[in-house]
Chain A
Amino acid sequence: MPKNKEIKKVLVIGSGPIVIGQAAEFDYAGTQACRSLKEEGVEVCLVNSNPATIMTDKDIADQVYIEPLTAKTLEQIILKEKPDSVLPTLGGQAGLNLGMELAESGFLDAHGVRLIGTTPRTIKKAEDRQEFKDTMAKIGEPVAASLVVESVEDGIKFTNTIGYPVVLRPAYTLGGSGGGIAHDETELISILSNGLRLSRVGQVLVERCIAGWKEIEYEVMRDAAGGCITVCNMENIDPVGVHTGDSIVVAPSQTLGDKEYQMLRSSALNIITELGITGGCNVQYALKPDSFEYCVIEVNPRVSRSSALASKATGYPIAKVAAKIALGYTLDEIKNAITGKTYASFEPMLDYCVVKIPRLPFDKFITAKHTLTTQMKATGEVMSICNNFEGALMKAIRSLEQHVDCLRSYDFSDLSEQELIERMHIVDDRRIYVIAEAIRKGINYRTIHDATQIDEWFIDKIAILTEMEERLETEELTEELLKEAKRVEFPDCVIARLSGRSEEEVRGLREHFGIRAAFQMVDTCAAEFAAQTPYFYSVFGSADEAAEFDVCRYMADGGECSGGQAGCPDVVGHDGSPARRKKVLVLGSGPIRIGQGIEFDYCSVHATWAFARAGYETIIVNNNPETVSTDFDIADKLYFEPLTPEDVENIVKIEKPDGAVVQFGGQTAIKLTESLQKMGVPIFGTAPEDVDAAEDRELFDQILQETEIPRAAGGTVFTAREAKEVAKKLGYPVLVRPSYVLGGQGMQIAYSDEEIEEFMEIINRIEQDHPILVDKYLMGKELEVDAVCDGTDILIPGIMEHIERTGVHSGDSISVYPAPTVSESVRETIAEYSRRLAKALHVKGLINIQFIAVGDAVYVIEVNPRSSRTVPYISKVTGIPIVDLATEVILGKKIRDLGYTPGLQPAADYFAVKMPVFSFEKIRGAEISLGPEMKSTGECLGIAKSFDEALYKAFLGAGVVLPKHKQMIITVKKADQPEAAQVAKRFEALGYTIYATRHTAEYLRAQGIKARRVNKLHQESPTVMDLLLGHKIDLVINTPTQGRDKSRDGFLIRRTAIETGVNVITALDTANALAGSLEAGGRELTVVDIAAVQQMER
C-alpha cells in the first residue's frame, strides 16, 4: 500500500521530561520518526515540554512547541497549526495518554484531525485492563488470573479467591508506578489504595503472582495490510518480579528452544493482529520454566524503552519504520537501510549476543531501598554486544561507570554459604556479584537457581567468568589463557590485577601474541547479505571488518586502494585527491544518570553534525542504547563500546583519528582525556591542562588571583581533621565536596564538626584521587552562563538565574532566562568575569560558569570549560546554536567570522523557565529534600511573554497542576519561619487552607494567618499523616532541619506525601515561585512556536 497522500502535516507528541520509566529512548524514537516523516515530504509539528531533547530542535521539526503536555495545550496547538494528523505512539505513555484524551473528548473528530499510527480503539484494547483481558480471552491467549478492581474491598475479596501473593498493576501509569507484589492483606491494602489513586482511571489490576517465571519480550511490527514481523525477542535474566527496565536483559533469548521461541512469537503476532496495531508493539510474556505454559503480561501498543533497545540490538530502526507505516506504507515497501537490499519485512537475525544492564540511582539516594520490584527504578541503561554471552556481560558491567569492571567489583567474600544463600533471595542491583561469590564458594547451580530462579544456563556463564578469574590468579599467563580471557572480555586491568602483573605488562604480552580486538558489523542479517552499516562492536578472535569496511567504501566511491588498512593514507579518491577525510572521534556520555542526562547526548550529536558539515569523518563511541547518538546514521561510524581507556584505544588503533573531542560528552568523556593523550590522540578544543586548571584548586586560585575575580574562601583537604581545621578558619556553614565530580555528587552543606566527619566519611568510602574541597557557604543568588570562547572573544547567549538560593544544586533549581532580578551592574560584571576566565583558561569551545551574586558583589563558584546540562536549554531559548558554534571555533573559526558580535547578547523579549523534574515516587526510601547534591532526573520548559506565565507553564509541564483541593501543610524549621509566613500569606490569599504542625502553626497565627494546627506523627490522631492519606492535600512545604535530615518526622512526611502523589516543596524560594505562578494562573495561556519566534528575531 503506498503512502496515504492525505497526510500532509503531522503533530508529533513527545514524551515530556525525563523521568524514571520514560527517558531518552523517546527522544531517539521521536527524532528518528520526525526525520522519517520529513523524508517523505510531510510537514512536522512537534510538541514536547523537554528542552534537553534533540527532537525539539528546529532542524528536526518544522514547528517546535516546547509547551506543557496537557490536552489543553495540544488543542491550542492543533487549532493554531491545523495538522491533519496526530501521531501519539512515539511519545511513550505520556504521548499515548494525551492522544487518547484528545480522541475520547471528541476534539480530534470535531476538527477533522485523525490519530495515525494506531487507532484509539486499539489503544483502549491494549491499555484498558478489562478490555485487554477480554481480547486475550477471545483469541485464546492466556493471561494470569486477574481482576480489575476499583476499590480496596474488591481487591481483598478477589485475592482471597486466587490466593497470595498477588501482583498489583495500576492502569495507565508509566514504569509500573504504584505497582508491587502483596504477600498479605496488610501489604495489599497499602499498595492497592496507593495504586488506585495514581491510576488515571482509578483502576488497578490484581493478578495471580507469576514471579519466578522466565520473562520474555517480543518486539513486533505490523502494517495496515496485516503484514507482521518480530524484530527480536529478549530474555530477562532476572525472572518475572523485577521490572524489565531494572532487569539484566539478553537478546536474543538464550534458554528457549525453537518450540518455545516460535510458540511465543506466533502468540505475539496473533495479539498484534487482533489488536489491529499499525506500527511497533511490545509484548511481554511470563513463561513457566518447567512447561509450555505461558501468560501474556502486557502489551505496549507503541514504541517503548524495549523497542529502543531492540532497535540498537538488531540495527532495525523500529521508530523510523513505525512512522512510515503510520503514513500508509507496508513493510515490504520500506527498504532496510542497513543492507540496502532487503526490506523492512525481514526479521533480523543476530550472530552475536546483546546484554543490557540498568543504571540504578542508588549512588544518589543512599537511604533508598536497593530492592528491585515491578516498579522501575533505573534512570538509564548500558548495552553491549559481543559474540559470546560472557563477553557481552563483562563489557556491559564496565560500561556502567560505577567503579565496576568485573564480577569481583563488589566483595561478598566474607559471607558464609548460608549468608550467601539468604542474600541471593534479595533481588537488588548487586545480586549478580553475590551469585558469582556463591559459585566461588562452591554452592551448586541448583541451590543458586532455587534462590534466584535464574536459569542455570546463565549461572553457568557466570561460573565460566569466575573460573577465568581463578585461572588468571593461579595459572601461568600463557598465550592460550590470555586469548581465552580476552575472548570473554576481561579487560587488561582486571587480568593485571588477578595475575599480579602491571597493566602495561599485560598489554605488552597481548601485543607479543598478537591478541587484538577486531570489529564486527551489526548487519541485521547474520552476514547473509553484504551490508553497508557503519555500526560496529568489538570481539577477540575474529577477522576485523571495520578496516575492510573503509576500503570497500572508498572503492565503491570510485577510489583505488593499494592494499591499505582503514584510515591509511594510501587510499585515494577517484579524482586522485586523498580520499581520506580528517577523522574526529566523538566520545559519548554513557548511561543516563542523575547529573549526566540526555543533555550531553544533545551536545554530542550536534557536535558530530557540525564536524560532518566541516568535512570531517565522524566517529561516535557510546554504549547507551536509548540515545540518538547511538543511532547508526548520526555519525559516519558508530562504535557501540564501553567508554574505558582500553576499549577506546582499540578503536583508536583501527581508526587513527586526527583528534578527539571530549568537551561534549560530560564527565564520561572528560575522564578519558588523559588516556587519549597517552595514545597520541590530540584533543580538539580547550587543552586538557586548562581543563585541569579549572578543577585543580590551587591552579584555579592562581587564575582567580591573576584575573582579580573573587570566590568564596576555602581550602583543599584529604582528611576529616584537615576539613575541620579549614571549616574553623572559615566559620560554619561550609560546603564540602569532592573535586572532579558531576551533579554535585557527594556535595553537602556542613553546619558542625560532626557533620564534617559524617560527610568526609561518606566521600572517602570511594577512594579519592583528588583532594576534597571545603568552601565558605555564601547565601546569595545563583547565576549561570554557558558561553563559547575562541581563545580571544567570548559569546555569551544569556544569563540564567536560579530561583533557589545557593545550596540547592543548580540542576535542581528552577532556572530563568533572561535573569529577571539582577542589576545591570551584576550582568556586566558577569560578562566581564566570564570573558576574563575564558581567556585565562584559553578556552576553545564551550565553558560553563556559575556565580553567586550577593548584592552587587559577584563571586565565582565553579568553572567548567566544557558543555553543561543547560546547553540545550540556552541554545533553544536564545536561538544561538552554541554547540555548533563551539565546534566551528574548535576547528579554528572566530566568533566574529561566524556572524556574531562577541559579548553578552541582548536578552530575548520573552521568558523561559527551566523546571527540574524528579522521580522520587519511584525510589522507595529516597530522601527528597533538595540540597547541593543533584536529584532531578529531567526538566521541562515554560516559555511566555511574562515571567509569571512562563513559570506557570513550567510548573504545569512538570505535572504540578494546582489548585485542586486548596489545602496545604506547612512545617518548617525555626529559622525559616519568617519567610514561611510570607509564603503562607500568599497561599492564604489564593484561598488555601493551611495546616501546620505546632511550632509553625503558632508562628503563623502570630503573623495573622489562620493556620490550623495538626499533630505530629507521634502525637494522637489525626496527625499530618492522616491528613496526607486523606488525599485532600495539594501541597506540602517542608524545610528539613539543619544539615542532613535525621528527624524521622520530616523524612516520613516528605516520603508519604511523594508516595501519595502530593507535591512537596523543600525550599522556600520554590514555594514563592509556585505562589507567583498560581497568582498568575487561571488565565488563557498562549502557545509559542519557538522555531518561528527565533526566525523573526534573526
Chain B
Amino acid sequence: MKAFLILEDGHIFTGTAIGAEREVISEIVFNTSMTGYLEVLTDPSYAGQSVTMTYPLIGNYGVNFSDMESKRPWAMGFIVRELSRTASNFRCEGNIQDFLKRHDIPGIAGVDTRALTKLLRERGTMNGMITANEDYDLEEILPKLNAYRVGNVVDLTTCTEPSVLKGKGKRVALLDLGAKMNIAKSLNARGCEVTVFPAHTPAEELMAAKPDGIMLSNGPGDPKECGDIIKEVRKLYDSDVPIFAICLGHQLMALATGADTHKLKYGHRGGNHPVKDLETGRVYITSQNHGYVVDMGSLDETVAAPAFVNVNDGTNEGLSYVGKNIFTVQFHPEASPGPQDCAYLFDRFITMMGGE
C-alpha cells in the first residue's frame, strides 16, 4: 500500500506503508546510526517524534526483545529507505514489520531518506504526517502540521510506580524522566541497587530513601516544559548527594541552576559524535539523541564549568558543578545503540559515591 510523508513546508515523499495503517502527526527527526534501530525505536526520548534512519538497509537482523530500551516503542512513526524482507540473526525473534504493527506504530518505507535528511538539515527539524490516504488534502493538513507541538512528553514516558533492581553495592535513586533501560542496567551491572522513581517524585521522597547517589535520566521533549521537575532537581542540587545526569537530566540540572537551554537546528542523533573531555583532552565517540542543548553563554562559571564539548559544532556536552559532587553529560554513556566508549563514566559515578 502506498504511503506519504508530508512535511510542514509542503514537501511530500512517497513510499510504501509499513506497520500500523493509521495516520500520525509528529516532529520528524533523523538518526545516523547504522545499527540499533530497535534501541532507537524503543528509546523514550523519541516520544513525540517520528524517526528517519539515514542508513538505508533496516531490519536486516530482525527484532530481539532483549535489545529494547523500554517496554514499548516510543517513536511515533518510522521512516526508512528499505526494510529487509528477511531478518537473519541467531537472536532474531521477529521482524520489524510485525513489531510496528503489534505496537500500532505507522511507518513508511521506500523514502529517499537522503533527500529528506538534507531537507531537515537545511531547514531544521520539521513537523510532518505519515499517511496512507492517497486523497490527502494539503490545505487541511498543513495548518495541523504547523500547529503540532511535542508538548510535555516526560509525563507520558516515565514510570508510574517505583521499582527496584537488586544489587549489593551502592544504592542509586534513578529519576525516570523517560529513561533508557540500559542506564539502570549499566549501574546494576556495576553492583548498584537501583531504585527507579517516577519523574514527579518530590525531592524529599527521593532523599528519604537515603540513596548513595542520584541518577537523572534521559528523556524526551523540551526541558523547559518540565518546570515542576526542575524545582525538585534544584533541591537535589542543594543536597550533598552525588548526582550524575544524562541528556534531559543534564539539561534540567542546568536550568535548575540558572543556565539556559535552546533548541538545535536539527539535533544530534547518531552514534558517531566526537566529544572532548576538557580535563584530559581525549576525544571519545559518543551515542547521542538530543534536540536541545545547554547554552554555553548562559553558564555561571561559579556554578558549573564545561567538562565536555562537541568537537564538531562546539556545543556543550557536559558540565562539572563547582564545589559539588555533581557531573552531567549531554550524550549517552549507556550507549544502546552506539559506542560504549564512555561507559567509564558510570565507574566515575560509583567513585563519586565512595565506591571502588
Could you list which residues of chain A lie within 8 angstroms of chain B, going by C-beta atoms? 1, 225-227, 229-230, 252-259, 261-262, 265-266, 269, 289-291, 330-332, 341-343, 345-353, 387-389, 455-457, 460, 464, 520, 525-530, 541-543
Contacts and interface: CB of A to CB of B under 8 A. Distances in A.
B339 interface: yes
List the 5 closest pairs (A to B, CB-CB), nearest first.
Answer: A258-B36, A347-B272, A526-B54, A457-B88, A460-B86
B32 A457 contact: no
B346 interface: no
Contacts of A527: 54, 114, 117-118, 121
A286 to B, nearest CB: 15
B88 A255 contact: yes
Contacts of B86: 456-457, 460
B285 A229 contact: yes
Contacts of B341: 266, 269
Nearest to B54: A526
A332 B56 contact: no
A778 B5 CA distance: 73
A681 B100 CA distance: 51
Nearest to B116: A527
A456 B62 CA distance: 12
Contacts, number: 160
A831 B284 CA distance: 64
B34 A252 contact: yes
A388 B272 contact: no
Given A255-B89, A257-B64, A460-B88, A346 B35 contact: no
B283 A331 contact: yes
A541 B112 contact: yes
Interface in B21-51: 30, 32-36, 39
Given A332-B283, A388-B82, A542-B112, A258 B55 contact: no
Contacts of A348: 272
Given A230-B285, A254-B57, A389-B57, 17 more contacts: A227-B283, A227-B284, A229-B285, A257-B36, A257-B91, A265-B340, A330-B283, A341-B312, A343-B311, A346-B272, A346-B312, A349-B34, A349-B272, A387-B81, A388-B56, A457-B86, A528-B30
Nearest to A523: B114
B90 A289 contact: yes
A289 B271 CA distance: 24
A348 B32 CA distance: 10
B73 interface: no
Contacts of A343: 274, 311-312
Contacts of B118: 527
Contact of B34 (A269, A289, A350, A460): A350
Nearest to A250: B57
A253 B33 CA distance: 13
B129 interface: no
25 contacts: A1-B281, A227-B282, A229-B285, A254-B60, A256-B61, A257-B61, A258-B36, A290-B90, A291-B90, A332-B311, A342-B311, A343-B311, A345-B274, A345-B285, A346-B311, A350-B34, A387-B114, A388-B82, A457-B61, A457-B84, A460-B88, A520-B114, A526-B117, A527-B118, A528-B54
A369 B166 CA distance: 61
A937 B356 CA distance: 59
Contact of A460 (B39, B85, B91): B85
Contacts of A351: 32, 54-56, 113-114, 117
A225 B64 CA distance: 38
A541 B110 CA distance: 9
Contacts of A352: 56
Interface in B53-69: 54-57, 60-61, 64, 67
| Chain B: interface size category | 35 or more
Interface stretch (B191-199, B208-216, B231-239, B330-338): B330-338
A226 B282 contact: yes
A257 B339 contact: no
Nearest to B87: A457
Contacts of B54: 349, 351, 526-528
Contacts of B283: 227, 330-332, 345
B270 interface: yes
B75 to A, nearest CB: 16
A541 B112 CA distance: 8
A349 B55 contact: yes
Contacts of B113: 351
Interface string B83-120: 01110111100000000000000000000111101100
A290 B89 CA distance: 8
A351 B311 CA distance: 22
B290 interface: no
B337 A262 contact: yes
A185 B204 CA distance: 74
B276 interface: yes
Contacts of A266: 339-341
Nearest to A525: B32
Nearest to B309: A332
A456 B85 CA distance: 11
Contacts of A229: 274, 285
A380 B109 CA distance: 37
A229 B283 CA distance: 9
A466 B84 CA distance: 16
Given A256-B35, A346-B272, A353-B56, A262 B335 contact: yes
Interface in B243-269: none
Chain A CB within 10 Å — which of B32, B39, B270, B283 has the most?
A: B283
Contacts of B336: 258
A259 B85 contact: no
A342 B284 CA distance: 14
B117 A528 contact: yes
Interface in B278-305: 281-285
Nearest to A223: B283
B52 to A, nearest CB: 10
Contact of A258 (B122, B282, B337): B337
A542 B57 CA distance: 15
B274 A543 contact: no
Nearest to B336: A258
B269 to A, nearest CB: 9
Interface string B155-182: 0000000000000000000000000000
A1 B283 CA distance: 12
B312 A258 contact: no
A542 B117 CA distance: 13
B35 A261 contact: yes
B11 to A, nearest CB: 11
A262 B287 CA distance: 11
Contacts of B276: 332
B338 A262 contact: yes
B91 A455 contact: no
A262 B89 contact: no
Contacts of A289: 90
Contacts of B284: 227
Contacts of A253: 35
A266 B271 CA distance: 13
Contacts of B311: 332, 342-343, 345-346
A794 B210 CA distance: 93
Contacts of B56: 351-353, 387-388
A259 B90 contact: no
A520 B112 CA distance: 11
Contact of A349 (B32, B57, B122): B32
B164 to A, nearest CB: 25
A387 B282 CA distance: 34
A346 to B, nearest CB: 5
The listed residue with most B CB atoms (<10 A of its CB), out of A255, A289, A530, is A255
Contact of B32 (A261, A345, A387, A526): A526
Nearest to A387: B56
B312 A225 contact: no
Contacts of B337: 258, 262
A226 B55 CA distance: 29
Contacts of A256: 35, 61, 89
